[in-house]
């Protein structure tokens, strides 16, 4: 589904990603762990297409298409979803309006007519129920005045609405209390299907108790220095990152 080869990327001339290789197949959940400042969020941003990063080398192929040649919105319509670490506020724009615009722009990209309003509203209801999200969320402005937990739940809700092939969760667990974390993890688990995949970026092993990964990668200094099964996460939790640093 996603194939990253020898990806090098920099910001303001400073190289952050220094040769990433990653293969994700449908139905898989991958976790990327690592100390702060090793390039985890940069990897997420580069896949999504944020233009402040310069791709120096390498390729990202997503379902047979070269992502690096596509603008951000096309990557999204192709099925890439990024759950932001710090979701931005858009004052005055209701989540309903925001989501309708997103859903229908994606449909337009695929040559489909806009979703009828009643169908759309029904879908919103269904997803809210599924994710156990408070009804009021939908009428509030996007992320405006949301608590940290609400913002992350809102990201998961948007993910459920857009039904991406690949969802990247960038530090979704940061700033969440245990209850919010469960809601988020529960949502992700409900959305898992044989034909979609998840890339979970996290600093702590805690989230992986709830979203169980198939493969865990350790990112250090812009490279994936180790990959393994879920037991690798446990090992990291036990030994800390110093052990990896020493090895690298």
117 binds another protein (CB under 8 A): yes
81 binds another protein (CB under 8 A): yes
Other residues' Cβ atoms within 10 Å of the Cβ of residue 198: 25
What is the CA 228 to chain-centroid distance, rounded?
20
Q: Which residue is associated with the tokens 């608590």?
A: 147
Q: Are 83 and 166 in contact (CB under 8 A)?
A: no
Number of residues forming the site for another protein (CB under 8 A): 33
Cβ-based burial of 19 (10 A; exposed 0-12, middle 13-18, buried ≥19): middle
Other residues' Cβ atoms within 10 Å of the Cβ of residue 13: 6
Strand partners, 215: 30
216 binds another protein (CB under 8 A): no
Instruction: Indicate which single residue of 102, 137, 225, 234 sits in contact with another protein (rule: CB under 8 A).
Output: 102
SS3 73: helix
Q: Which is nearer to another protein, 21 or 97 (CB)?
A: 97
Q: How far is the CB of 59 from another protein (least distance, A)?
A: 20
162 binds another protein (CB under 8 A): yes
72 binds another protein (CB under 8 A): yes
55 binds another protein (CB under 8 A): no
Q: Which is nearer to another protein, 41 or 106 (CB)?
A: 106
Cα–Cα distance between 74 and 236 in angstroms, integer?
36
Q: Which residues bind another protein (CB under 8 A)?
A: 48-50, 52, 71-73, 76-77, 81-82, 84, 87-88, 90-93, 97-98, 100-102, 104-106, 108-109, 114, 117, 141, 158, 162
């Amino acid at each position: 589904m996603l194939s990253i080869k020898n990806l090098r990327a920099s910001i303001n001339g400073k190289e952050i990603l220094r040769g990433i290789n990653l293969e994700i197949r449908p139905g898989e959940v991958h976790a990327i762990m690592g100390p702060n400042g090793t390039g985890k969020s940069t990897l997420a941003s580069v896949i999504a297409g944020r233009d402040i990063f310069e791709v120096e080398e390498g390729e990202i192929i997503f379902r047979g298409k070269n992502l690096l040649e596509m603008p951000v919105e096309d990557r999204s319509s192709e099925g890439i979803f990024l759950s932001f670490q710090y979701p931005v506020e858009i004052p005055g724009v209701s989540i309903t309006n925001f989501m309708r615009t997103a859903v229908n722009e994606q449909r337009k990209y695929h040559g489909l007519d806009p979703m009828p309003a009643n169908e759309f509203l029904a879908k919103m209801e269904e997803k809210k129920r599924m994710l156990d999200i408070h009804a009021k969320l939908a009428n509030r402005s996007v992320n405006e005045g949301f608590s940290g937990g609400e913002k992350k739940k809102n990201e998961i809700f948007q993910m459920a609405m857009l039904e991406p092939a690949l969802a990247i969760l960038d530090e979704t667990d940061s700033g969440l209390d245990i209850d919010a974390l469960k809601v988020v993890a529960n949502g992700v688990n409900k959305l898992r299907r044989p034909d979609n995949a998840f890339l979970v970026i996290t600093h702590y092993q805690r989230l992986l108790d709830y979203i169980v990964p198939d493969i865990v990668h350790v990112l250090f200094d812009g490279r994936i220095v180790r990959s393994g099964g879920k037991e690798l996460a446990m090992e990291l939790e036990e030994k800390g990152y110093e052990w990896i640093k020493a090895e690298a």
